[in-house]
Structure 1
Amino acid sequence: MVFRFLVMMLVAALLWKPSLVESRIRHYKFTVVKKNTSKLCASKPIITVNGKFPGPTLYAREDDTVVVRVVNHVKDNVTFHWHGIRQLRTGWADGPAYITQCPIQTGQSYIYNFTLTGQRGTLLWHAHINWQRATVHGAIVILPKRGVPYPFPKPDKEEIIVFGEWWKSDVEMVINQAMKLGQPPNVSDAHTINGQTGPAPNCSSKGYTMYVESGKTYLLRIVNAAVNEELFFKIAGHQMTIVEVDATYTKPFRTDTIFIGPGQTTNALLKADRKIGNYQIAISPFMDTIVATDSQTATATLRYNGTLSAAASSPTTLTTMPSKNATKVTTNFMDSLRSLNSRKYPANVPKTIDHSLLLAIGVGVNPCGTCVNGSRVVADINNVTFVMPTTAILQAHYYNVSGVYTDDFPGNPPVPYNYTGSPPTNMQTTNGTKVYRLGYNSTVQIVLQGTAIIAPESHPTHLHGFNFYVVGKGIGNYDPKNDPKSFNLVDPIERNTISVPTGGWTAIRFRADNPGVWFLHCHLEIHTTWGLKMAFVVENGKGPNQSILPPPSDLPKC
């Protein structure tokens, strides 16, 4: 009887859903294994968590503590990033390899332990080393505290929808070959919706199906876990009401098209108010310049309960996707986003600024004696192509280890030029592991300035350790005299990842109230690989809860 009871308890734990008995500590085990796939565009072994693609969803409530034990059973090193989790004083659990931790090696394990302080909504987790996040990713659902309602009509049901990209060949081989040649890698072969492509050339996937009941309202928790592409999302014949992005509530607005960059999340209310039948769900890429993308449209099906049993062969109402270069659609969507800015959920935008930075971001070319054309494509911030260290920067900072990094990252481009006009004659960048130092609780404004050295393109940029307010954006070169006059300091959208428009700039503000080392990088994985990344070191404060917590005893070693 005791054995049977223990088995029942184990099964209950594995099948945990948020409607069951609550606990203030959420325990998860992530076992990293390779699994062979046969239902997509090619049969191949992929790295997964618990054998799932996408991986398991993490459920918790605001202010809960999450404990995830990761066990590595593959030959590759692994790390995990809990994208958008602020990690207050717990940078050891943030996850980017060689920034906050050394990787978890084969046969080793590491426990990520962090608290969801003041956060609720939808986020994502993903591997943060090499290109593993192509298959190692999943959703995070943070429910409000018990008894605290959503600030929008309560949905009848919630649905998680995760977008991704798929390569027929091994993704690490794709990027390694490209780096060896010094050229851009092959684009993905397909997009995925909850791990399925839908009908696509040389793909056997039938696609994901979402079942709905007439008259009911569904909260769609939408996650873009794609590697290199910003995406459009539509459901044929249906409007959606946006209520949250990046786990922050928004002023609601209706739209039939969602624009979402890699690393971003969006919550939308969907009313099942159409006639019974099948409706196409689709995602397609956005790119309004000459850069190559996977142009395949992934599809799924929204099916009303009550549809005839022959629904699989019955007609499906189709949708028309925006053109790949539909800049106006992306602009309209982003301009519609505003913070809720209510008494309970205020927009605490910094009004005065201690650090004002201009970060010119883009792609350039450096000499390469071993590359096929004698040159290598690189990316940079303020002309610095970031070099990954071999010891984690956070460990070096905490233990005062010299020689790992320097704190002379330039807060402005060393040589100003026409960033969005004709490129300079010399496109070569400098290499270095440089950080920018911030005092505790100082306020920061960053203008992310896109450049056109090779080709202008949109850059979805992610800041670890903080949310930020998007106070302004524009096309062309940022004008420090006139552009701030139009900044929104009342209800700007609050995010952790923001797209910098092609040939333009975006201004963000945040308060550096989280001590540690925090990564800033383009969330197009190819640009991160090429070096479009840097880190902030935020000093400890003077108060008892204003310092980095000591590292855990099982922190991996390099």
Structure 2
Amino acid sequence: MKATLAALCCLVTLAQGASIIKNWHVGWVHNVNPDGLHPRRGIALNGHFPPQPLSVNSNDYVAINFTNSFGDGSPSTLHGHGIYYNNTNYYDGAAGIVQCPVPDGHSFHYELLNSPKSPSSAEKQIGTYWIHGHYKGQYIDGLRLPFIIHNADGETYQYDDDYTVALADWYHHVHADVLKNKYYKPNGTYPTADAGLMYFVHTRANQTAKNLEGFNENATLPFEPGKTYRIRVVNMSAASLFNFWIEGHDMKIIEVDGEDVHPFPVDQLQVSIGQRYSVLVKSHNTTKHNWKIHANLVPEMFDMYKPTDPIKLNLTSTLSYGNPHAKMGAGRGTVDSYELFDDTQLEPVKKIPMVKPDMSVNRIATMPSYSDNIHRGTFDNKTFVAPLTPTLLTMMSESTSYIMNPATYGPNTNAVVAPHLQMIELVMINFSDDMHPMHMHGSKFQVVNRATDLRSKDPKANPPIKEGQKNPMRRDTVVLPPGGAVTIRFRADNPGAWFLHCHMNFHLDVGMAMVVVQAPNMAAKRFDIPSYVKEQCKMQHMPVSGNAGGIPHSSINFGNLTKAPLPEP
């Protein structure tokens, strides 16, 4: 039975902000060719590829009526990357964690911002986010767009105009085929992308955001002399890390993952998958020159990259001052090295001091070979297997003794149960050779320590944790370096089942994920889950209660839950 959406979305009234309700139909379109090299089908919203961006104010009510119009039986979901979903965890969109995917031909009502079900005291979100599919890598085929939230109370920094740089990678075959033919095979590795993509979006406050024409060398960012611009950079890739800079122009970081920070000058931005930055850029006072904009893909992110591969690692577009006779200015056109950017140098404008944890958890990330000869992502030697019963519905249906027990959520969800309002420390250790951009849904965390080499005796590479930091960096996506570690801390003040996973999507595909179950007893008291959440599970013969396998009152028996493959001996 289809969800009745009109009745759900028309009861909302906000005293100050606008009520923004989008009707989005997701489906395939044919002959998309963003890199100009290979037409193929891609995923569009309302027939638009790439999808139209979304720009709102922080006091707006924002909802999406999402209709699955694939027409080929494909399910789908939609996730607001970095959005808190306070008291509305069921709108988060992580398939298998908070909902069953939306069946083909059916609809789901998502509330992204200022839901009437969220407490009025909840922190208002501002800054740079993105919206993407969260089912079987659909965002890689095009279901991704920037989502900008302007501060209705006035921005921390002043600027004249606002643009977003969308970065992504692109494969010449749909993601399902890439997995089947390249990765899900004995000794397979994830393939190098066929192209990188850069395009521009005009995201000025109180105006409809729009994609500018063209990709890469066919894209132009317009500047006017004597102005200050906010340039937001969003990495919406499957597997690519970018270094971004503008020749002849200085940049100052002012925002990271929706968190305003004190200005920090940089020559270039290193933006990993899922991360966002804003920089202030002052334009020149003359139209004498135009300038190149660079977005370089970092080759170390690709397991099988060879210099002979056809991918162009160095993307360029044009910053134009509107003078058709202007020559191209000469600035720094190359990168000497791709060293990991230390984002712990950045200081949030809103001061939140570090406090000692109530609970500390260590998780070791590896990429071992399994009995099927596939290298799988693991935490503590457990590769993630999605539950049959969405984790949130387990939280809502089982008794306290079970929902506080991590085992209830399945033998391979790597669940961490975080008691209400406790300060949680999570130490992620990387014993693999790969870099992992780790994203946690539903929260920003403090990045309180990072080691780039755990074997080193150099305190710069392997520092001890420093307690009592006055205002550590906060974000929702952090890079876990190969052979290194990252320590994060967060307050368990947002009840729900929150996915924490590597956003290198091929690593997520093979199990590098866990679930943070925050305050499950409070979720059971507070949440009013829409009826269509369970209805859509039942349509697909998925359980809506019990443990991860749909079995009530057990943390041992998981019924027909898929068993994980075995590691190689």
Whether TM-score is above 0.5 comes out as yes
Partner residue, 1:300: 317
Question: 1:125-524 alignment to 2 at 5 Å?
Answer: 125-134=131-140, 135-145=142-152, 148-152=153-157, 154-182=158-186, 183-194=188-199, 206-273=217-284, 275-276=286-287, 277-286=289-298, 288=300, 291-293=303-305, 296-308=313-325, 315=328, 317=330, 319-323=332-336, 326-327=338-339, 330-331=340-341, 333-340=342-349, 345-349=350-354, 351-368=355-372, 375-400=373-398, 407-408=405-406, 432-452=412-432, 456-477=433-454, 483-487=463-467, 489-524=469-504
Match of residue 125, structure 2, among 116, 119, 141: 119
Instruction: State the shift of 1:448 in Å.
Output: 1.2
- 1:213 partner amino acid: E
Question: Where does the alignment leave 5 or more consecutive residues of structure 2 unmatched?
Answer: 1-14, 115-122, 202-213, 306-310, 541-569
Partner residue, 1:5: none
Distance 1:193 1:447 in 2: 34
Cα RMSD (Å): 3.0
CA contact (8 A) 1:240 1:255 kept: yes
1:236-259 Cα distance to aligned partner (Å, 9 max, x none)? 111111100100011101112001
Distance 1:405 1:226 in 2: 35
Could you say if the C-alpha distance between residues 548 and 385 of structure 1 is closer, same or farther in structure 2, counting changes exceeding 3 Å? Answer: farther
- 1:209 partner amino acid: T
CA contact (8 A) 2:58 2:124 kept: yes
Distance 1:256 1:530 in 2: 35
Question: Where does the alignment leave 5 or more consecutive residues of structure 1 unmatched?
Answer: 1-20, 197-202, 369-374, 411-429
Distance 2:130 2:291 in 1: 27
1:61 aligns with 2:72: no
Distance 2:301 2:56 in 1: 40
Instruction: State the shift of 1:357 in Å.
Output: 1.1
CA contact (8 A) 1:34 1:45 kept: yes
Partner residue, 2:513: 533
SS at match of 1:352: coil
Partner residue, 1:16: none
Equivalent pairs, count: 484
Instruction: State the shift of 1:297 in Å.
Output: 1.9
Could you say if the C-alpha distance between residues 489 and 99 of structure 1 is closer, same or farther in structure 2, counting changes exceeding 3 Å? Answer: same
Could you say if the C-alpha distance between residues 318 and 484 of structure 1 is closer, same or farther in structure 2, counting changes exceeding 3 Å? Answer: closer
1:220-247 Cα distance to aligned partner (Å, 9 max, x none)? 1211101112210011111111100100
- 1:188 partner amino acid: A
Partner residue, 2:22: 28
Could you say if the C-alpha distance between residues 489 and 551 of structure 1 is closer, same or farther in structure 2, counting changes exceeding 3 Å? Answer: same
- 1:165 partner amino acid: D
Identity %: 25
CA contact (8 A) 2:292 2:316 kept: yes
Could you say if the C-alpha distance between residues 271 and 166 of structure 1 is closer, same or farther in structure 2, counting changes exceeding 3 Å? Answer: same
SS at match of 2:184: helix
Instruction: State the shift of 1:376 in Å.
Output: 1.4
Distance 2:514 2:399 in 1: 19
Give TM-score scaled by structure 1 length.
0.80
1:103-152 Cα distance to aligned partner (Å, 9 max, x none)? 1111111010143442111111111111211111111111112xx22222
1:431-455 Cα distance to aligned partner (Å, 9 max, x none)? 7234221111111011111113xxx
Distance 1:361 1:288 in 2: 18
- 1:299 partner amino acid: T
- 2:426 partner amino acid: I
CA contact (8 A) 1:287 1:457 kept: no
Instruction: State the shift of 1:472 in Å.
Output: 1.1
Moved more, 166-175 or 272-281: 272-281
CA contact (8 A) 1:81 1:126 kept: yes
Instruction: State the shift of 1:87 in Å.
Output: 0.8
Distance 2:285 2:422 in 1: 51
- 2:133 partner amino acid: A
Distance 2:192 2:300 in 1: 16
Give TM-score scaled by structure 2 length.
0.79
SS at match of 1:45: strand
Could you say if the C-alpha distance between residues 105 and 473 of structure 1 is closer, same or farther in structure 2, counting changes exceeding 3 Å? Answer: same
Match of residue 549, structure 1, among 509, 524, 527: 527
Distance 1:164 1:448 in 2: 26
Partner residue, 1:110: 108
Instruction: State the shift of 1:70 in Å.
Output: 0.5
Distance 2:45 2:438 in 1: 26
Partner residue, 2:209: none
Partner residue, 1:17: none
SS at match of 1:365: coil
Match of residue 96, structure 1, among 94, 100, 105: 94
- 2:513 partner amino acid: K
Distance 1:157 1:365 in 2: 50
Instruction: State the shift of 1:478 in Å.
Output: 8.8
Instruction: State the shift of 1:193 in Å.
Output: 0.7
